[in-house]
């Protein structure tokens, strides 16, 4: 392992926007509302948001489609020996089904994973709608969920509009060489995801490239989810102090394997910026642009 393939994090990432993901609860029977219309009894299924999830599907441009889903078991009788015998099924379109192995995002502020291999992910419906100003105490009909889906699927979300207005504490920034390119990441601007596969599960962390949110560093703790849970039961959170860089990821394409280099950001800052303690978005962009034209030997020295 290269010496720079470990990111040391401040505050054990406890203060970062990283939430431990949980498996979705089994879908329970929803309430049914009976109403009379012309002496005719009609049953309308109503959905409690805490029972639902949302599958988000992103294309290479970051355009995202959302689908309210619940668990649909493939067999009539649930076989306890076949716990994966189910899929996520769209509520508004019964023909749409999604794998139960999709990565789960608990933090609702992130709308896509910057990874072309995981352009489908799961978000908790209650958290998602709460973050977007919806009443999460009421129950929703299928028609209402269709309306909400349409609204979000027609909405063009542009995170750069608010990102460019932010300031970034210098002590949270990391300057990483990715092959021949250099990017700056904020360890507080990340999302932790439960990544599932047939061999088990683990938590991984994506650090978004501040200048291109469709690219990221995919990192992990070097532990399975089971090993991580055992440490938490012992109140041992020391594993959070370090993350291992697995690879660069992108919504555009599969990234090639590259060598990562850790640069000292302060070597590229002015005295005024250091004393201020934070950078503006345009200053981060300027630093990266200057590095592109800098002498490679200077960059190599700065990385030591």
Name 264's Cβ contacts closer than 8 Å, sequence gap at least 6.
175, 302, 303
Residue 209: is its pLDDT beyond 70?
yes
CA distance 275 to 272: 5
Where does the pLDDT of residue 109 fall: very low under 50, low under 70, confident under 90, or very high at 90 and above?
Answer: low
Handedness of CA 143, 147, 148, 154 (dihedral sign): positive
pLDDT digits (tens, 9 = 90+) for 33-82: 444 444 444 567 899 888 899 998 887 776 788 999 998 887 666 566 66
CA distance 240 to 231: 11
The kind and range of the H/E element at 275 are helix 271-276
For residue 183, which of 243, 272, 250 has the smallest C-alpha distance?
250
Q: Give 220-274 as a DSSP string.
A: E-SS-HHHHHHHHHTT--GGGGEEEEEEEEESSSPPPP--EEEE-GGGGS-HHHH
């Amino acid at each position: 392992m290269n010496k720079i393939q470990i990111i040391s994090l401040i505050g054990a990432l406890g203060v970062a926007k990283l939430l431990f993901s949980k498996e979705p609860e089994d879908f329970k029977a929803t309430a049914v509302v009976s109403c009379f219309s012309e002496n005719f009894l009609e049953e309308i299924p109503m959905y409690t948001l805490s029972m639902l999830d949302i599958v988000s599907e992103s294309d290479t441009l970051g355009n995202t489609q959302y689908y309210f889903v619940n668990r649909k078991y493939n067999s009539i009788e649930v076989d306890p020996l076949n716990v994966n015998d189910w899929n996520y099924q769209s509520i508004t379109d019964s023909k749409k089904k999604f794998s139960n192995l999709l990565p789960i995002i608990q933090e609702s502020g992130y709308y896509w994973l910057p990874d072309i291999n995981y352009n489908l992910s799961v978000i908790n419906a209650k958290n998602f709608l709460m973050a977007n100003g919806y009443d999460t105490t009421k129950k929703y009909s299928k028609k209402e969920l269709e309306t909400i889906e349409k609204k979000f699927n027609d909405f063009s979300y542009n995170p750069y509009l608010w990102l460019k207005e932010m300031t970034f504490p210098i002590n949270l920034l990391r300057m990483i060489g990715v092959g021949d390119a250099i990017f700056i990441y904020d360890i507080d601007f990340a999302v932790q995801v439960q990544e599932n596969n047939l061999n088990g599960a683990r938590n991984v962390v994506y650090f978004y490239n501040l200048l291109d949110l469709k690219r990221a560093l995919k990192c992990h703790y070097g532990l399975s989810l089971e090993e991580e849970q055992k440490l938490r039961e012992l109140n041992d959170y020391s594993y959070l102090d370090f993350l291992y860089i697995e690879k660069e990821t992108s919504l555009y394409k599969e990234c090639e394997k590259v060598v990562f280099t850790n640069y000292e950001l302060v070597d590229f800052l002015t005295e005024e910026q250091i004393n201020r303690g934070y950078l503006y978005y345009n200053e981060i962009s300027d630093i990266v642009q200057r590095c592109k034209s800098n002498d490679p030997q200077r960059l190599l020295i700065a990385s030591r």
